[in-house]
Amino acid sequence: MDEINNKVTPEYVLELKHISKAFGKNKVLKSIDLNVKPGSVHGLMGENGAGKSTMMKILFGIYSKDDGEIFLDGEPVSFNGPKDALENGVAMVHQELNQCLERNILDNLFLGRYPIRYGVIDEKRMEIEAKKLFRKLGISVDLKVPMKTMSVANRQMVEIAKAVSYNAKLIVLDEPTSSLTNREVKKLFEIVNELKKEGVSFVYISHKMDEIFEICDQVSVLRDGQMIMTKDTKDTNMNELISAMVGRSLNQRFPPVDNIPGETIFEIKNLCTKYKPKLENISFSLRKGEILGIYGLVGAGRSELLQAIFGLRTVSSGEITLNGQNVFYTSPSQAMDDGLAFVTEERKLDGLFLKGSLSFNTCIANMDAYKRNGILSDDMIKSATHKEIKKMQTKCMGPDELISALSGGNQQKVIIGKWLERDPQILLLDEPTRGIDVGAKYEIYQLIIQMAKEGKSCIVVSSEMPEILGITNRIAVMSNGRLSGIVNTKETDQEELLRLSAKYL
């Protein structure tokens, strides 16, 4: 500790000492220690289910700890909830954004703490303070547009601005770049570095190794509820982190892509959509047993293309052919009947029933398959769920566990397992490894490649360039709602993908 003007400056802004937590017989955290220095970025890594989320929920007062102590600026604290934490300078930007999408930025920024003047909300003051805040952060947004009209990237920037507006001394960023382009990631890092200079500290939760080494000063690794290592990032490397996370070394980041695509089974010609963001004259083909990647910047129309194929977005013109027959889907149920499946990007928003069990979420898309004499069979549902838990290696307490109790990566495994229960011939996968740890990613890559080897065709949207280059046969690049090129994966590189993604900007 340093002593300045007779005032003792704590060595750490945040200290977690011997934190333990169990749910029944399941010990989730086992005497965890974590120390975050003032004005630093402390990386936190671990497989899904390692205990990262539980640790943060204890910090924010969502869960009570069974044992241990928490210190903020050297003083013991125990928050009664996120609002209490915020008011004491501890904020969190969640991977799954919880915002009032029908309201504008100003409402989301001041929700729960509206400034009052003469008994009414002082909107002028809100606007002045918000403009000053966003100007300081170098963020350009329209304060009065509904949040639902904004990209995920801009919505995330709003959450960071909100944390800063509380004069937070510690900000937890949970997978903050999962939906950001390289340019937006760079902007985020600029903001983080500027706030570091002002003494703000960060806990940076991420599965992206490159980012950990770029932005973090220290890194800690959790595995099975235990703190395995804490080091300065300059004193470790990618292989050591992976080994600490998964308990074994991964010799390769991606499995060998040894599927052999066959004949063309799916074709799109001059597809256009009516509503913004519009798609214009999209044409490509998909072969049996092929993995086709879709790359492009956020807002290029990648997700919208999958939605149009699956009947979730109105197609204004064009032609879609499946197995030589013209098809036209006006609803997802029609696409599902033809053997299509869609793993969406926003799993909590439109991929899961968060109040349902693991069994319910695994079997909901295929209920007719679990009927015996016209009546749903609990035994058949449980059997199917057990099969998918085993196949996907999902970490859970069993089929009856609430899906909301699972980590993000394990929730994603349940979603993929749900669609596999329908034995689809074409899988549309939108950011299938978003927010998933390196070990689980490798398992999903293996699964995608194995499905392709079995004759299933996959269209994979990914913002991670190494991923799109590591698991595909061909890559279609989108730019501003148009297809700017299709390349063979083995014959391309990052430079060409970036050039194509900027073609129509």
Average pLDDT over residues 213-228: 93
**Average pLDDT for the chain:** 89
| Residues of the chain above pLDDT 90, percent | 53
User: pLDDT of 143-163, one tens digit each?
Assistant: 888 888 887 777 888 888 888
Check residue 264 and give its pLDDT.
Answer: 97
User: Given phi > 0 = left and psi -120 to 50 = alpha, else beta, which region is 74?
Assistant: left
Q: Which of 144, 145, 147, 146 is nearest to 159 (CA)?
A: 147
User: pLDDT of 408-417, one tens digit each?
Assistant: 778 888 999 9
Tokens of 201: 């500290």
Average pLDDT over residues 245-252: 69
Q: Which of 97, 238, 119, 105 is nearest to 161 (CA)?
A: 105
Burial of 256 (0-12, 13-18, 19+ CB in 10 A): exposed
Check residue 494 and give its pLDDT.
Answer: 86
Position with higher pLDDT, 215 vs 101:
215
User: pLDDT of 270-291, one tens digit each?
Assistant: 999 988 788 999 999 999 999 9
Task: For residue 246, name the pLDDT band (cuts at 50, 70, 90).
Answer: confident
User: pLDDT of 379-406, one tens digit each?
Assistant: 999 999 999 998 888 888 899 999 988 8
pLDDT at 239 over 90: no
Every domain of the chain with CATH number 3.40.50.300 lies at: 264-339+424-501
Check residue 5 and give its pLDDT.
Answer: 53
Check residue 266 and give its pLDDT.
Answer: 97
∠ CA 314-318-321, nearest 5°, is 100
Distance, in Å, from the CA atom of 197 to the CA atom of 298, rounded to the nearest integer, reads 29
Check residue 162 and give its pLDDT.
Answer: 87
User: pLDDT of 12-24, one tens digit each?
Assistant: 999 999 999 988 8
Asked whether the whole model's pTM tops 0.85, one would answer no
Cα 404 to Cα 114, 366, 400, 478: the distances in Å are: 31, 21, 12, 34
Average pLDDT over residues 475-487: 95
User: pLDDT of 303-321, one tens digit each?
Assistant: 999 999 999 999 999 999 9
User: pLDDT of 28-69, one tens digit each?
Assistant: 899 999 999 999 999 999 876 788 888 999 999 999 999 999
Average pLDDT over residues 259-270: 97
Check residue 4 and give its pLDDT.
Answer: 47
| DSSP three-state, residue 27 | strand
Check residue 6 and give its pLDDT.
Answer: 54
Check residue 248 and give its pLDDT.
Answer: 63
Top-ranked range on mean pLDDT: pick from 20-29, 268-277, 437-446: 268-277
Burial of 235 (0-12, 13-18, 19+ CB in 10 A): exposed
Task: For residue 84, name the pLDDT band (cuts at 50, 70, 90).
Answer: very high
pLDDT at 2 over 70: no
Position with higher pLDDT, 324 vs 405:
324
Helix (H) or strand (E) holding 471: none
Listed range (143-157, 251-265, 327-341) with the worst mean pLDDT? 143-157
Q: 264-339+424-501 belongs to which homologous superfamily?
A: P-loop containing nucleotide triphosphate hydrolases (3.40.50.300)
Task: For residue 121, name the pLDDT band (cuts at 50, 70, 90).
Answer: confident
